[in-house]
Amino acid sequence: MTTAETEPADRGAQVAARRPAYQAELADGTGRFFGPRRATCPWCESARLTVRLRTTDLLQHKPGRFVLDACQDCGHVFQNPRLSSAGLEFYYRDFYDGLGEQRLGGMFGTRAATYRNRALSVTAFAAAPGSWLDVGTGHGHFCETARGLFPDTAFDGLDLTEGVELAERHGRLRRGFRGSFPALAPELAGQYDVVSMFHYLEHSTDPARELAAARQALRPNGLLLIEVPDPGSRYARLLGRWWLPWLQPQHLHLVPVANLRRRLGELGFTVLLEQHREPHDPIDLLAACWLLLDEIAPREDAPWLPGSPPGRPSRALRTAVLLAGAPVLLLAALLDRLIARVAGRTGMSNAYRLLARRAEPGS
């Protein structure tokens, strides 16, 4: 639905048009896409760090190697060295927008059940919030769905990308704010009954600043709803680099639930709800098998890959590998569904959700 707005249909032509710019950028290597390596944990400042994961870009196959460190003291997991602003721009390009929009637009557009499930978390605590800000809203699809449950609520969205402007133009949002949340928070101060952040915090360069911004944008007694991947999930260890929620290089911070609860408390929030079963997205095994198949198959053409587009034999081999893997994918999808029933109880859930209430001033 969002695809035809901005993109011609022929992927081959799009790739060819983008190739010279990508190749020129990559001529000097990927060094400038990274900042300096940190010697301390960005969450608690401890110097006791260990390498948790070394990996590559398994989704887009852009060049570069990425390291996630874990803090031995607080358990925080973070990308180290972290992407620089040039790196963020480079690795996000053609993922949610441009070349990648077609694929993701279809995927996000059909996830109404997930969006309903997220919105329902607040109903017991706020039956009819007056205003709701969804931070990291992308193309505003969550707000569009949530309006079905909260018809009298005014939904605004905030995002770094142009999707939020499209969402306002298409009427999915009352207002779409484009920019960084900490930078925009002063002008949004005290305006919202609910602020939501679904799979947003892990993308941020500084989660603590985002939480402070949420506190500022909320009215006293307002609700903050956060959902993030759970680095404590058993799947994270079981599947290693093939665990989709590591999502390198996009995920800069993976926060253990205890850390987030504590930080919210320090900011004057009261945690009302902690959920593990509800936010679990049952795709771990399917995604891992897909990433593995995609890794061993010859590459699909992309403008950041060197050389000329893959020829017919290479494309045929890719198709053959993916077809051969189809039964494995089917089995993985089946297991994902079975495990989802017990994921919350067995520590397999790949995400968690916290709902917290902002204190009144002076309390």
Our CB check for Zn ion shows the closer of 50 and 308 to be 50
Query: Which residues between 15 and 44 bind Zn ion (CB under 5 A)?
Result: 41, 43-44
Q: Decide if residue 68 touches Zn ion (CB under 5 A).
A: no
**Considering the complex, what minimum distance in angstroms separates the CB of residue 257 from Zn ion?**
14
Angle of the 112-120 helix axis to the 141-149 helix axis, nearest 10? 60
Q: What angle do CA 253, 255, 261 make, to 5 degrees?
A: 145
Shortest distance (Å) from residue 79 CB to Zn ion: 14
Q: Which is nearer to Zn ion, 73 or 206 (CB)?
A: 73
46 binds Zn ion (CB under 5 A): yes
Q: Does 76 bind Zn ion (CB under 5 A)?
A: yes
How would you classify the pairing of strands 131-135 and 77-79?
A: unpaired
In angstroms, the CA 117 to CA 148 distance is 12
Residue selected from 74, 195, 254, 343 as contacting Zn ion according to rule CB under 5 A: 74
Q: Which residues contact 332 (CB under 8 A, 6 or more apart)?
A: 285, 286, 288, 289
Judged by beta carbon, residue 86 or residue 208, the one nearer Zn ion is 208
**Adjacent-strand bridge partners of 264:** none
Taking a C-beta distance cutoff of 8 angstroms, is the pair 31, 83 a contact?
Answer: no
Q: Which is nearer to Zn ion, 46 or 85 (CB)?
A: 46
Look-up of token digits 């253990």 = 256
Crossing angle of helices 257-266 and 207-217, rounded to 10° = 50
Number of residues that bind Zn ion (CB under 5 A): 8
**Closer residue to Zn ion (CB): 72 or 319:** 72
Beta carbon nearer to Zn ion, 76 or 251:
76
Shortest Å, Cβ 207 to Zn ion? 12
Secondary structure class of 230 (helix, strand, coil): coil
Q: By CB under 5 A, what part of segment 202-261 binds Zn ion?
A: none
Tally the residues of the chain. Answer: 363
**Site membership for Zn ion, residue 71 (CB under 5 A):** yes
Closest approach, Cβ 44 to Zn ion, in A, equals: 3
Q: Can residue 319 be called a binding residue for Zn ion (CB under 5 A)? A: no
Choices 65-73, 99-107, 123-131, 327-335 (CB under 5 A): range interacting with Zn ion: 65-73
Dihedral sign for Cα atoms in the order 264, 269, 271, 274 = negative
Is residue 232 within 8 Å of residue 344, measured between CB atoms?
A: no
The site for Zn ion (CB under 5 A) is made up of 41, 43-44, 46, 71, 73-74, 76
